[in-house]
Amino acid sequence: MTFARHDPIDDLDTLPRMPAWVTSSRVETLEAVAFLSGAALNHLHLVLGHEDVPQALLRDRLALRAAEACVAFSGRPERAAELRDVVHLLRPDDLPGPAGETYLAWGRATEQPVSIKALGRPLPAFEPGQIVAWLAAGKGAPVTRAAMVLESVLREAPRADEAALILADAALAQALGWDHLVPLLAPGLKRSDLRKHGADLRLACHRALIASVIEAARQAADLARRAAHLKAVAPKLRAKGAGDAVEMFLTRDAVAPSALPLPDRAARRLCDRLVELGAVRELTGRDTFRLYGV
């Protein structure tokens, strides 16, 4: 892989900033909230188009937030740390359990460009024709379209919260012209919002997107800085396979040393070296079974 010779951190001031009036406005009507969510989504569109933002890594981190929200909707206790453990420390013959399946589903939903075939991976319980029909239920402006898909799925499959939210985010991505699904709705919605209909649901979706986009934009800026630093220190790494390992850190929310393309001891040394250089963080706080991420 090729790394820039200048310090890319110096370029990050070019990332667009969220207008203050989007984050500070307090409005109640559907029209006013829709205006703010449109402004927020337009801002995120600009951020996602910036070359310094590690797109796959951002989507993977947002997938974790969406999975955490869906797990909470189901009444389960697992949160981000437990979800990371369940998925990234999973042994070949182990089953991930309901919470782990939710996290895996969101990860699969963001990996490939949006298509009916790609959506079949995180939603294996549903036929492609059903997915097509649900996506076709969305009409109008992007957020309205997403809300209509969400309502349509939950009307026919009341317990399919996860599928409904994945398809709603897929409809939003398609309406906005994004290649990949970006998990936004689930982290901003409340469990009670999923039982709303019509204008009430649209209002809830607009509000959810304002909150989620603000957080996604913050994450994008933070990850851009961290990714730039990781790329800057990469030439200092001498281990064979270090370049491939760096690429994994630039695309995944969390990485276990055993997943790196190096022998176990070399992988652990590389992770320790990256922590020492301030390029990655140890995410668990444990002495064993550690996970690392940008």
- The string of pLDDT tens digits covering residues 32-75 is 999 999 999 999 999 999 999 999 999 999 999 999 999 999 99
Q: Above 50 in pLDDT, residue 4?
A: no
Q: How confident is the model at residue 1 (pLDDT cuts 50, 70, 90)?
A: very low
Q: Above 60 in pLDDT, residue 86?
A: yes
Write down the mean pLDDT value for the chain.
Answer: 94
Residues 49 and 120 reside in one and the same domain:
yes
Residues 210 and 269 reside in one and the same domain:
no
Give domain status of residue 200, yes or no. yes
Residues linked to residue 282 through DSSP beta bridges, in sequence order? 292
pLDDT in tens, 15-26: 888 888 888 777
Residues 68 and 161 reside in one and the same domain:
yes
Residues 189 and 244 reside in one and the same domain:
no
Domain termination site, one of 191, 223, 255: 223
Domain count, the chain: 2
Residues 104 and 243 reside in one and the same domain:
no
Q: What is the mean pLDDT of residues 81-89?
A: 97
| pTM to 2 decimal places | 0.93
More confidently predicted of 239 and 4? 239
pLDDT in tens, 114-136: 999 999 999 999 999 999 999 99
Q: How confident is the model at residue 7 (pLDDT cuts 50, 70, 90)?
A: very low
What is the spatial distance between Cα 249 and Cα 292, in angstroms, rounded to a whole number?
Answer: 8
Residues 191 and 97 reside in one and the same domain:
yes
Give domain status of residue 232, yes or no. no
The amino acid that residue 29 corresponds to is T
What is the spatial distance between Cα 86 and Cα 242, in angstroms, rounded to a whole number?
Answer: 26
Looking at the chain, the whole-number percentage of residues with pLDDT higher than 70 is 95
Exposure of 104 in the CB half-sphere (CA atoms within 13 A) = 16
Residues 167 and 31 reside in one and the same domain:
yes
Q: Above 80 in pLDDT, residue 3?
A: no
Q: What is the mean pLDDT of residues 140-145?
A: 98
Q: What is the mean pLDDT of residues 201-219?
A: 97
Quote the pLDDT of residue 22: 86
Q: How confident is the model at residue 11 (pLDDT cuts 50, 70, 90)?
A: very low
Q: Above 80 in pLDDT, residue 77?
A: yes
Quote the pLDDT of residue 26: 79
Residues 281 and 184 reside in one and the same domain:
no
Domain termination site, one of 171, 200, 223: 223
Q: Above 60 in pLDDT, residue 9?
A: no
Contact 41, 141 (CB under 8 A): no
Residues 245 and 190 reside in one and the same domain:
no
Q: Residue 128 sits in which domain range?
A: 27-223
What is the spatial distance between Cα 68 and Cα 32, in angstroms, rounded to a whole number?
Answer: 29
CATH number of the domain enclosing 245: 1.10.10
Quote the pLDDT of residue 20: 86
Domain termination site, one of 223, 253, 274: 223
Give domain status of residue 267, yes or no. yes
Residues 53 and 197 reside in one and the same domain:
yes
Residues 40 and 96 reside in one and the same domain:
yes
Rounded to whole angstroms, the maximal C-alpha distance in the chain is 58
For tokens 């491939």, name the residue: 244
Q: How confident is the model at residue 179 (pLDDT cuts 50, 70, 90)?
A: very high
Give domain status of residue 153, yes or no. yes
Residues 202 and 259 reside in one and the same domain:
no
Q: Above 50 in pLDDT, residue 6?
A: no
